[in-house]
Structure 1
């Protein structure tokens, strides 16, 4: 684990994630809703990770199986702890501290539905707590509209004295715009002891974590509040409207950072980039671009308009236009689109091209090779400098198993060719348009695999009488007969031309 500054570390992290989230109107547990490439819970854990905690526990309740499974995937170091009955935030914190066992130093307690929290905000909170020598420090925020939020009450000296919920606040307290952000750092032993004294004599019949602050103040302990530099860091997420708003805020932050680093974002309103994606300066993102997952875009690459890349790698100077790509590697100076579909396992070498209406899967396209249009290429290796003609299909599936096709260097595949795998087309070979290739083609050969054309005269008139096709054919035959008759007449009268 990376060594942290002693003033910005904690011994344990507790994430409260047991709530039902009924206002989300979803079967998905509240903290598992996605934004910016992570779940809400994932964002909170990522923000806390730099604090270097020895233990991290996540209190789960509603949807516990799904949350525990998600934790195992994204944060295996974090341990789920079950709150069998949801009896309030104070009860949840007590359950977590019991599961942690003895903790000698500081514990951070944070809600799992605050996806905009950033590591620097938590580090600043912990630093302020340590520097002040506090027993407990609460994160606060200054907001324009504090409606529905707990107010921070300070004395004349500026010390935090209480957190007052809106329903219990008097008019002067309701006018306060500094609110509780629901994030605390405190001495684990002191917090644990205070939680044993938290009652449930309120309208909800629950134990509130906010009561710990008042109890410690009454004990004469040193309690403080640290105001977040950006109030948006503290915003929670309780329904789908708020989730959409948090997505927009997070995306704006990501794009702002990218543009400051030299990335050209033509239209930030329609460009979406996950926090897990990487874009190097001088890359260009056109409107309608989505960079999702672990996508990486190198300098000078151009993506969009209207392109979605999931877990892809785009090399320097490459171009992706109006295409959908997943788990694909697009090499330097390669071009994709428009309207291409690159499926997992696609790897394009430098200068390769996958053009309009082409689908690829599990394929390697060599340097400067081209699949320009209207083709399917699956389970194949294509060498350098080759060209795959329009409407070519790599027939890779026999109904039971997938088979591989190998196309060598400087090969020319004719339009409308079927390559029935397993098959190899050697270096410098050609296939004739309309061929069905079922056998290997030696280097330098021309493969022709199509039936000899046979024209059955008069078939339409006999088999499709009265149809527009038959009428058109009959008219054409009459016109041809008239032309032939005119030619014969001219040849008869020609000798008298000099009389």
Structure 2
């Protein structure tokens, strides 16, 4: 195969999206639409990629990988005009140029590979990626004479007869670089919209005696593009089906794929059960034989084998083997949870380590802390890590027992094997194998309650 470059069209505002955000940066499956197109192009073997930016150009540029070329289209005068801005990118190149659109995130590397193969095998100067739609409204029509591609007509400019054609233009092409250069220099804006259409290059190339062709994708989902938030949701549903099907084929058990929202960068080990309503975002790795209970949310985190998570939120953290999380637990960023740990209901952990065998069964806050092996944190334990200006760290060493409703005021260390009595507020280090009691001594005033009752009766 010849060397291939890619030009991705990503300059449009997308007014039907009714959004200030550039259309191509709207997300599907936890990833910007443009990112999918870039990834598919790279996977299909593109040697170099340029992205045409326009609306909020700086925002789109900032979202691009550093190895890509960004080319600004200052005026949006049509697709032909957009590709013309990229002429310096390929004008001295002798190979293929893929022209793709940044709002078609379902395009796959296999489809692009087949497009390039059809282009080279057919000896074409241009090859159009096409599909057959039951309802082609809004799409450019593929006009053929027999199997020969004659021209592409935009829906707005098509006759009634041409609008009856079901085969449509995806807006994606493979060109011979030098043929594309010649055709772009000959396009004009003689149409209803007064724009420079890339589709016109097909007729121009035919007029030059060049051979042009088409490759109809067998999966029409490949070319589905987004022009509104309704379409964004529809494509999100297709992407969700693809992601979940791939994970199930790899061994995961997804109870209700239609209502499970896993990011494209999620990996799930075999025999892990994922219940409805689970959401993952970013890069998430879940091991084997886990249970991810309904309505749990996991973001940029790693979950090892055998973990049970119930109705909990985990952000930018690590959970080791055979640990139980939840229900209603909250692991905030930079939490590292060891093996056989229990993080129970309404427990919050932030920027902390809980080592193997540690337990916080309920109603506990662990912030900026290191909790040792086999430590038991009683109900209502609070790591008081913030003095209003600075945050400090607390260490509870191995095999300690912290009684209910205790406050550990940072910075403080509870040494190995120690006990903290329930209701204590610990402000000083606790030595090894010590019982720390930091609460007022109980005083019982017998008969006092009867006196109070009499006072209340008189006051009435």
2:94 maps to what in 1? 104
1:341 maps to what in 2? 330
Question: Structure 1 residues 412 and 278 mapped into 2: Cα distance closer, same or farther (>3 Å)?
Answer: same
Say which SS state the counterpart of residue 50 (structure 2) adopts: strand
Question: CA offset at residue 361 of structure 1?
Answer: 0.6
Q: 2:134 aligns with which of 132, 139, 144?
A: 144
TM (normalized to structure 1)? 0.89
Q: What 5-or-longer segments of structure 2 have no aligned partner?
A: none
2:114 maps to what in 1? 124
Cα distance in 2 for partners of 1:176, 1:460 equals 94
Q: 1:197 aligns with which of 168, 180, 186?
A: 186
1:445-484 matches, within 5 Å, as: 445-455=434-444, 458=448, 466=456
Residues 188-231 of structure 1 show CA distances to partners (whole Å, capped at 9, x for unaligned) of 11101111111101111110000001111122211110011210
Question: Structure 1 residues 333 and 63 mapped into 2: Cα distance closer, same or farther (>3 Å)?
Answer: same
1:396-435 matches, within 5 Å, as: 396-435=385-424
Q: Of Structure 1 and Structure 2, which has the larger fraction of its residues in helix?
A: 1
Q: How many residues align?
A: 459
2:79 maps to what in 1? 89
- Is 1:258–2:251 an aligned residue pair? no
- Is 1:45–2:38 an aligned residue pair? yes
User: Is the CA contact (8 Å cut-off) linking 1:358 and 1:372 kept in structure 2?
Assistant: yes
User: Is the CA contact (8 Å cut-off) linking 2:157 and 2:192 kept in structure 1?
Assistant: no
Cα distance in 1 for partners of 2:434, 2:81 equals 78
Question: CA offset at residue 458 of structure 1?
Answer: 4.0
1:489 maps to what in 2? none
Question: CA offset at residue 426 of structure 1?
Answer: 1.4
Question: Structure 1 residues 147 and 460 mapped into 2: Cα distance closer, same or farther (>3 Å)?
Answer: farther
Q: 1:134 aligns with which of 124, 128, 136?
A: 124
Cα distance in 1 for partners of 2:386, 2:455 equals 41
Q: 1:222 aligns with which of 211, 220, 223?
A: 211
Question: CA offset at residue 62 of structure 1?
Answer: 0.8
Question: Structure 1 residues 268 and 460 mapped into 2: Cα distance closer, same or farther (>3 Å)?
Answer: farther
Cα distance in 2 for partners of 1:165, 1:66 equals 30
1:249-328 matches, within 5 Å, as: 249-328=238-317
Question: CA offset at residue 169 of structure 1?
Answer: 3.3
User: Is the CA contact (8 Å cut-off) linking 2:103 and 2:225 kept in structure 1?
Assistant: yes
User: Is the CA contact (8 Å cut-off) linking 1:55 and 1:100 kept in structure 2?
Assistant: no
1:1-16 matches, within 5 Å, as: 6=1, 10=4, 12-16=5-9
Cα distance in 1 for partners of 2:81, 2:366 equals 58
Cα distance in 2 for partners of 1:167, 1:383 equals 69
Q: What 5-or-longer segments of structure 1 have no aligned partner?
A: 1-5, 472-499
Cα distance in 1 for partners of 2:385, 2:320 equals 24
Residues 76-108 of structure 1 show CA distances to partners (whole Å, capped at 9, x for unaligned) of 111211111111100000001234452221111
User: Is the CA contact (8 Å cut-off) linking 2:91 and 2:178 kept in structure 1?
Assistant: no
1:62 maps to what in 2? 55
User: Is the CA contact (8 Å cut-off) linking 2:44 and 2:110 kept in structure 1?
Assistant: no
Cα distance in 2 for partners of 1:389, 1:464 equals 39
Question: CA offset at residue 53 of structure 1?
Answer: 2.8
Residues 447-497 of structure 1 show CA distances to partners (whole Å, capped at 9, x for unaligned) of 100011234664796699649xx99xxxxxxxxxxxxxxxxxxxxxxxxxx
1:479 maps to what in 2? none
Q: 1:329 aligns with which of 305, 310, 318?
A: 318
Residues 139-190 of structure 1 show CA distances to partners (whole Å, capped at 9, x for unaligned) of 001111111211112222x121111223443444333211100101111111
Question: Structure 1 residues 460 and 341 mapped into 2: Cα distance closer, same or farther (>3 Å)?
Answer: farther
Higher Rg of the two aligned structures: 1
